[in-house]
Amino acid sequence: MASEEKVSAETAFLKDEKSEKNISELEHSDTSCGFSIFKGPTLQRYAKTHTFVIVYGIASCFMAMAFTYFTGTITTLEKRFNIPTKISGFITVGNDISTVFTSAFLSYYASRGHRPRWVALGLIIMALFCVLMLLPHIFYGPGDEALKWTKEYGSQDGALNHTTKDENLCYEKDLDCVKDTGDFVPILMFFVAQFIGGIGCSLYYAPGLAYMDDNSDRAKTPAMLSWSAFIRMLGPAMGFSVVSLCLRIYIDPFRTPLITTKDPRWMGAWWLGWIFLTIILLISAFFVGMFPKEMPKARVKRLKAEGDDITPLAERSLSDMMQSLKRLAANKVYVYNTLSSILYIFGYMPYWIFTPKYIEIQYRQSASLANMATGSWALGFSAAGVLISGYVITKYKPSARAMAAWNFVVDYLTVAGIILYVLVGCDEGDRANSLSILPLTDDCSAACDCEYVHYAPVCSPDNVTLISPCHAGCTDKGVDEQGRIIFTGCQCMGNSLGLTASTNASSPSLMALDEACPVDCFNQFLIFLAVMCFLKFVGATARSSNLLLGLRCVPREDKTFAMGFNSMVLSVLAFIPSPIVFGWMWDSYCLVWGKTCGSKGNCWIYDTKSLRYSMNVACASLIFLGSFWNIGVWYYAKDMQVFDDDEKKPENKQNEAMELKEQNIDNDKRLESSQ
């Protein structure tokens, strides 16, 4: 009996010692919600993984809105600040350049601390990115090029003054050219904004996703990743919708434009959305930062785990990071998955960045409609693909090999869809672009000083669009009986069709309307939209499986660093070079530049047919090559465990729930006593 009492006493002592140790660890790990004065028992009920998934997904949605908003306004920025496509492509990679220098290190050291607060800091930096994107409009305004197409420009009474000299008409050559030196400050400001935005992304995605995975059950991770991705994918749809609304408003909302949204010279209020995005990102940062360092339920599982010899995160050093890097380099699934992602992203990047612009120039649609199609319609199919794939993975729990096999099937379907892009062209638009530049190659407008004339398209009676009244040889400007602005004495319009120009200035064939000729490419646009929606859906179904493979192929202690290092490698080899390479490709097919004395400016007319073939074939080839690395992932993933072998027994779940409840009660009492 005495021996039994002694053993019982020792057991009780050990339990008390373990209890004190647990309480001490609880205080150290910080499983309570809130910070500063914003904490208490009321907030503690939200310390659950599914709550974090919702809040994190909403914040991701707003971040995606910010980058999508920039993508949707690229065409307008090029017009406003005379930026060539290759320069806008370089601006776009600013965030990826900063990712190269910060992603791996920030992700590694963020894993040591309070990850939700690191994520909140990333959101605050993203808000700063939005402010910097707004500054060029504050400093430079809408610009004279946009204001000249308003009623209020150059006239106090609001009426268009037709008696003044029009710089777009045909005049004798003036060899004296006042050089426009150009202003690179707005370009530099956009690049710095993107660079800072990349730092915010580095602090947001890798720590946030790793925190979500570490604080949830393995069986529930696919569903949570899918829901988080689904909420995040609403961001691009909402971003393009906001772009569509803002670009319907003229760049100066307080003036009355003389042109419509269908006119290629239209510039929308690109700056308006940045104000809204700054506010919602700051609000999101506040709520994300409220979550605890570790979820109470996840802490219970961690304390119950036996034989856990992982080095504590707070004790990691640079040498540990090098060891992590060696383990990743030896991980064939991780390496092959990264290589396939590099080629896929390099090939698909032009569609993420230039799709609205592609729709505008290939199918002659307005910037507003192009952004609406890219966002609200196409991304709705992406969201459906993410949800369906998440449901299938959660319900059927496929093996790692099955998910890897689906990834390379998606690659082949994507290649097939991109090849269809080559075939879906608008012949009428291709012909209109080729005819519009014919006056540049003949002698009709040689006597006119047209080299630095602004792009101001005119439509001939033969339904041919010419670059400007000057290139059409027009000498006078007036208003017809219907109140439309017309140009007369246009000697070069006959040459655009290979005809001999008439010498009778009053002939109807020598008159032109002040607008681009209508081109109907809407049916081709609908076919392109259908193919794009299919590719969005198919591509989205592989997102959850690919992310899950990336999370499960590395040990727990390397997870955050692996994601950060992956982001760095993808930035160096895909996100940075791809926009620059394809931006250069776009510029190489430019037919008409908005030239000034000092710079080439932006492109107004492209060789759409050649561009369509070159870009789509190049993209399809890269994605096809990447599919072979996915086959390698399939081969080496045969022994990889994605889900736990055995589900927990009901009695174990009840015991864990009771322990979690007692822990929360104890935590609430200590929080109340500390206030």
Q: Is 173 helix (H, G, I), strand (E, B) or coil?
A: coil
Q: Is 163 helix (H, G, I), strand (E, B) or coil?
A: coil
Q: Is 28 helix (H, G, I), strand (E, B) or coil?
A: helix
First to last CA, the chain: 48
**Is the Cβ–Cβ distance between 403 and 389 less than 8 Å?**
no
Number of Cβ within a 10 Å radius of residue 603: 21
Q: How far apart are CA 117 and CA 290, in angstroms?
A: 8
**Sign of torsion over alpha carbons 241, 243, 249, 254:** positive
What is the pLDDT at residue 123?
Answer: 93
What is the pLDDT at residue 617?
Answer: 96
Nearest alpha carbon to residue 77 among 168, 179, 180, 191 = 191
What is the pLDDT at residue 611?
Answer: 93
- In the numeric block, the tokens 């777009």 are attached to 168
Number of Cβ within a 10 Å radius of residue 289: 19
List, for the chain, all residue ranges whose pLDDT scores fall below the cut of 50. Answer: 1-2, 4-29, 156-164, 175, 178, 181, 306-315, 495-506, 646-653, 656-657, 659-660, 663-665, 667-675
- CA angle 613–619–624, rounded 5-degree value: 120
Q: Between the CA atoms of 183, 187, 189 and 191, what dihedral angle is there, to the nearest 10 degrees?
A: -160
> Looking at this protein, which amino acid is placed at residue 346?
F
- CA angle 273–276–278, rounded 5-degree value: 105
What is the pLDDT at residue 650?
Answer: 44
Here the tokens at position 409 are 């099937």
Number of Cβ within a 10 Å radius of residue 656: 15
What is the pLDDT at residue 615?
Answer: 95
Q: Is 631 helix (H, G, I), strand (E, B) or coil?
A: helix
Nearest alpha carbon to residue 614 among 577, 588, 579, 578 = 588
What is the pLDDT at residue 172?
Answer: 58
What is the pLDDT at residue 454?
Answer: 75
What is the pLDDT at residue 259?
Answer: 82
Helices (H), 376-459: 378-396, 400-423, 427-436
What is the pLDDT at residue 667?
Answer: 47
